[in-house]
Structure 1
Amino acid sequence: MITEIDFPTETALYGRELGAFYRDSFRVRVRKEALGARQVYHSIFAHLPISVQLALKARNSVVKLVGFSASNTSMSIGLEEIQAGQNAGFLTIEAASDVEVVCTAYEKNMDMWLSVLKLSDQEFAISTLVNMKTGAGKVYMAFIKPFHKLVAQHSINQALKAGRI
C-alpha cells in the first residue's frame, strides 16, 4: 500500500529546503521482509516502468529547449553499486546505508534530492525535495508537480506488483 505522508523529519533531506521549494513523501508497506533502503531503492529505480522512461524521454526533448538538463532516463544501477559517489542516471548517490539512500542532482534552475528511508521493518518513505533557483525552475515545477506524484506512485506500485519489494 502506498500513501502520501508528511515529509519525514528523520530523512537527511529535512532542513535542506531553501527559498522556493517543493517536497513530497510517500510511505510504502513492502511485502518482503528484511529489506534495507538499498534494496528498496534498487527495486524501484533500477526497474522504472517503460511508460515512465518514455515520459522522461519526452520531458527531455522539451526541457532542453528552455535551458534545462536533458538527463539520462535510465536510473538503473546494480545493487552492489549503490554507494556514495556513484551515478545512477542523472542522479549522484550522496549517501547509502541500509537505513537511507540519498541521491541528488544539481543544475542551474533547481537542485533535486531523492531519499529512500526505512521507517520500520516493512515501511519505507520515498521522498523528493526540489529547491527552485530560477523563475524557469518555478514554472517547470508548477507544470510537472501533478505528473511527478503520478509517476512516483506508479513506479513504487510497479515494484510492489512485480514482487520486488
Structure 2
Amino acid sequence: MWKVTARPIPKNDFLASMRTKHSFRDALSAPLSKPTLSAAKAQLSIFSHMPKWVNTLMSIRNKIVKYFGFKVGTTTSLEMKKTDLKLGDAAGFMTVISVKDHEVISFAEDKHMQFYMSVTTDDQQTTVSTLVNLKTPIGRLYMALITPFHWVIARVVIHNAVKEQRL
C-alpha cells in the first residue's frame, strides 16, 4: 500500500555539509511513474496538493508558533499555478536556493532553526530529504513535539502524489 520508504541519510550531499550539532535529518523516497520528471516539477507535484486536514493543522501550528518567533508561511502549500521552480522563488514558507535538473534545495530560517529541504529525482524515484538545524532550546523542544506529525504528514503527502500519479 505505502509507496514511501525511509532512505539512509545521505552523508556527502549539500544538506550533510550544512548539518550542525543539534539537528534533525530524514530522507523519504517514492517511485516515479514519470521518469523524466525534473526535481522542481516533482517538488511542485508533491507539495502543491496538501490534504485539507494538513492545511488545517498547519494553520493551527502557524497561529501558535508565531508568538514564539518561528517563521510561518502565508500559505500551506506551493502555488498551484506554478509550473516550475527557479532560484529565488518562494516555495511555501521557504526560498529556493539551488536548482539543478535532478535536485532542488529550499531554505528557511528563523531565530530557532534553519530548515533545508532537498528534492531529488532519478529515472526511478524521487527523494525528499529534510534537515533542520536547531539553534535554541525552544527549537529543540518544538522539533521533539512536531516530529511525529512530520513523520505522518510527509509520508501521506508524498504517498498521495504517487497514488494520484503526479510523480
If the TM-score is normalised by the length of the shorter chain, which range does it land in?
over 0.9
Q: Give matches, 1:1-165, under 5 Å.
A: 1-9=3-11, 11-77=13-79, 78-80=82-84, 82-118=85-121, 120-165=122-167
Structure 1: state its 5+ residue gaps: none
AA matched with 2:105:
V
The CA distance in 2 between the partners of 1:86 and 1:110, in whole Å, is: 20
| 1:86 CA displacement | 1.0
The range that moved more, 70-79 or 143-152, is 70-79
8 Å Cα contact 1:101-1:116 kept in structure 2:
yes
AA matched with 1:92:
T
Number of matched pairs:
163
TM-score (norm 1): 0.92
TM-score (norm 2): 0.91
8 Å Cα contact 1:109-1:132 kept in structure 2:
yes
| 1:76 CA displacement | 1.6
| 1:10 CA displacement | 5.5
The CA distance in 2 between the partners of 1:72 and 1:154, in whole Å, is: 22
The CA distance in 2 between the partners of 1:127 and 1:103, in whole Å, is: 11
| 1:58 CA displacement | 0.9
| 1:8 CA displacement | 2.1
Spell out structure 1 runs of 4+ moving beyond 4 A: none
AA matched with 2:137:
G
The CA distance in 1 between the partners of 2:100 and 2:12, in whole Å, is: 14
Deviation per residue, 1:36-84 (Å, 9 max, x gap): 211211100122222211111011111123232232233323123x011
8 Å Cα contact 1:35-1:122 kept in structure 2:
no
Q: Secondary structure at the match of 1:158?
A: helix
8 Å Cα contact 1:75-1:91 kept in structure 2:
no
8 Å Cα contact 1:117-1:124 kept in structure 2:
yes
8 Å Cα contact 2:96-2:107 kept in structure 1:
yes
The CA distance in 2 between the partners of 1:95 and 1:75, in whole Å, is: 19
Computed over aligned residues only, the root mean square deviation of the Cα atoms, in angstroms, reads 1.4
State the identity as a percent: 34
C-alpha change, 1:99 and 1:160, in structure 2 (3 Å) is: same
